[in-house]
A and B are shown apart, each in its own frame.
Chain A
Amino acid sequence: MSIILQTDKLNKYFYEPEPFHVLTDISFTVDEGEFIALVGKSGSGKSTLLYLLSTLDTEYEGTLTIKNRLLTGLAQDHLAKFRNDHIGFVFQFHFLLPEFTALENVMMPALKQGKLKRNEIEEKAMEKLRQMQMHDFANKPSAKLSGGQQQRVAIARALINDPAIVMADEPTGNLDSANSEKVIEIFEDISKNNGKTIIMVTHDNDFARRANRIIELVDGKLVR
């Protein structure tokens, strides 16, 4: 198994409202195709770590390497391009662009990437929506979808550019148990059947156990 993501001694501080060492010496590796659950108490620094890993937050010490590329210190524009190509992100609050349809939301990162023609992108987006069983809602404005539906559209969007890693920050945090179950099933499915590497933050131990490996944060330190 080849290593897809590696961190070396990540340290992160907050200076406001008072100096606070939020992450301490986080070093770990993720293998290609792994489904990892990142757990820990609320406030332990899970989200903060995930933002570092996703390259959205660049203010840290230590190094981050994804797909053998050292990302620490790269310019914002390079990082944006890298995110577009290699990282799919799913948020706790299903964050879709409200004025666009489900299909348009899914297509957006691919249109930005510009590798495929528009009709190819549309086809691919429909396929992803079908995988999430959301194809019937493709042309609905995303604001008109329920929370669970929106989250599934968001997962389809995270997958559209065939990213190397999918990162999810408490993707079930805002859903009822039935919808949560559906979302977890989807993650299991894309892990097993599509071989996607997944890092999922959750505080639900039952869900965490369904991953290949569990990483736990306590007060900003990695304990397993």
Chain B
Amino acid sequence: MGFAVNFSIAKTHLLSRKKQSVVATLGVTFGIAMFILMISFMKGVNQFLQDTMLSSTPDIHIYNDVKTDYSFSVAGDYFKDSNASVIVYHPKPKQISLNIKNADAILADLKKDPVIGAVSPLLSTQVFYNYGPVQINGFIDGVHINEEARLYSLEDKMVQGTTQNLLTSSDGILMGSGLANKLNVTLGDLVSLTTPIGTTMRFRIVGIFAIGIGTLDNAKSYVNLSSVQQLLGQNSSYITDINIKLTNNDFSKPKAIAFYKKYGYKSDDWETANSSVMASNVIRDVLTYVVSITLLIVAGFGIYNIMNMTIANKMKDIAILKAQGFGRKDIVQIFLTQSIVIGTFGAITGIVLGFALSYSLSRVPFPASNNFISLKYFPVVFRASHYIFGVFFGILTTFVAGFMPSMRASRIDPVAILRG
């Protein structure tokens, strides 16, 4: 009951100075709209970069790292004197082969894990691509193409041919689009590869892919795992890497640690492998919040000013209301309500405008769109949580902005005003 009167007074005050109310509301509207637009766009960029990154990074990468722990040396054993300290200058790693020893057992074991979506064993080597007189440095990944395709959705990235072509030809190769351009080759052409150990083999191009990352598209090719094993003169269980896709990549970090403990090989999760991308995500997030909060604070100051002005104009009314028995709480309610109404309207129109702007941006074609960047429009994500946060924060801002003036109003001494 009490609130109904206070609300109707608040409403009357708001309506009796429409222009001010509208300006104050627009301040909030604009702040929230910019917040929605920025966060939707920034999160879209993050999402895009992450997707691109994930299209070339497995959730977990298991490999045999070059051993770089030189704290122990056989030289110590040689002198057999615990008092002597032995210094070895320029130690070098042992000649070891970097393959994963019990690969078949590990692969079989991994496939039993329910969290794992796909496991792709890999044998990679550097090669020279020879095509006529042209020789280009790059590398080839020997894979089971079906597993690899599941890991990275390769099928979507094929520009020419399909991944299946690799299965049906013993000397097939899938080549990165940039590399194919440089070599000036196309489907059906033969290209010969030379490995660092001097072996050479000829492959027929059965497909061309574009992942969207220049360093890969300009250097990488896929061939069957057995071809690389053959090139390197190794047996059919010789692999250097295992790439894993999880059904939910949030588990990447703990799983990577678990695999390291279990198999004894280095396991990197995608976040660790791409920490610079993750860092730039964080920076974009912070930037978004800083700019949006600044805008809202500016809007908040606008409301603060307007409320102060209103209260200065309404001193007499406040005194009259107090004389009639309106308490401090009522006065706070009357003025705080005005500011919260402004906040609520501003927040609602803000998210509507924010959505409209975000949607428009998501329809704007991305300039410089080519095969390398698989981006047709500006990347924008639409998430309910952003809109909820926007409304919440808009109302919070106006609450804070309106609170102090309202408290001040409630403390006005009616006698001082009524005396005139």
Interface residues, chain A, CB within 8 Å of chain B? 47, 51, 54, 56-57, 76-77, 80-85, 87, 89, 91, 93, 95-100, 108-109, 111-114, 157
Contacts and interface: CB of A to CB of B under 8 A. Distances in A.
B167 interface: no
Contact of B328 (A76, A83, A97): A76
B414 A77 contact: no
A38 B420 CA distance: 20
A111 B324 contact: no
Contact of B320 (A51, A82, A95, A114): A95
Interface of B: 1-2, 4-5, 9, 12-13, 16, 316-317, 319-330, 414-415, 418-420
Contacts of A80: 322, 325-328, 330
A3 B59 CA distance: 88
A113 B9 CA distance: 15
Contact of A77 (B317, B324, B328): B328
A203 B201 CA distance: 120
A8 to B, nearest CB: 21
Given A93-B420, A97-B317, A99-B12, A56 B415 contact: yes
Given A89-B323, A89-B324, A100 B12 contact: yes
A56 B326 contact: no
B418 A108 contact: no
Q: Tell which of B16, B320, B419 has the most Cβ of chain A within 10 Å.
A: B320
Contacts of A81: 325, 327
Contacts of B2: 112, 114
Contacts of B321: 97, 108
Given A83-B323, A95-B418, 16 more contacts: A51-B418, A54-B323, A56-B322, A56-B415, A56-B418, A76-B327, A80-B322, A80-B327, A84-B324, A84-B325, A87-B325, A95-B319, A111-B5, A112-B330, A113-B325, A114-B2
A54 to B, nearest CB: 7
B27 to A, nearest CB: 23
A112 B325 contact: yes
A158 to B, nearest CB: 9
A108 B324 contact: yes
Contacts of B13: 99
25 contacts: A47-B419, A51-B415, A56-B418, A76-B327, A77-B329, A80-B325, A80-B328, A81-B325, A82-B325, A83-B324, A84-B325, A84-B326, A93-B420, A95-B319, A96-B320, A97-B317, A97-B320, A99-B13, A99-B16, A100-B12, A108-B5, A108-B321, A108-B324, A112-B5, A113-B325
Contacts of A157: 324
B132 to A, nearest CB: 89
A206 to B, nearest CB: 25
A124 to B, nearest CB: 15
A73 B330 CA distance: 21
A87 B418 CA distance: 16
Contacts of B317: 97-98
B419 A109 contact: no
Nearest to B324: A109
Nearest to B317: A97
Contacts of A93: 420
A85 B325 contact: yes
A82 B2 CA distance: 15
Contacts of B322: 56, 80
A98 B321 CA distance: 12
Contacts of B330: 80, 112
Nearest to B420: A93
Contact of B418 (A91, A111, A112): A91
Q: Tell which of B1, B323, B415 has the most Cβ of chain A within 10 Å.
A: B323
A84 B329 CA distance: 14
Contacts of A99: 12-13, 16
Contacts of B1: 111, 114
A83 B325 contact: yes
A87 B328 CA distance: 18
Contacts of A114: 1-2
Contact of B325 (A51, A95, A97, A109): A109
Instruction: List the 4 closest A-B pairs by CB distance, nearest first.
Output: A84-B325, A114-B1, A80-B327, A83-B325
A1 to B, nearest CB: 27
Contacts of A47: 419
A14 to B, nearest CB: 11
Contacts of B415: 51, 56-57
Contacts of B326: 80, 84, 112
Contacts of B325: 80-85, 87, 109, 112-113
Nearest to B4: A111
B415 to A, nearest CB: 5
Contacts of B419: 47
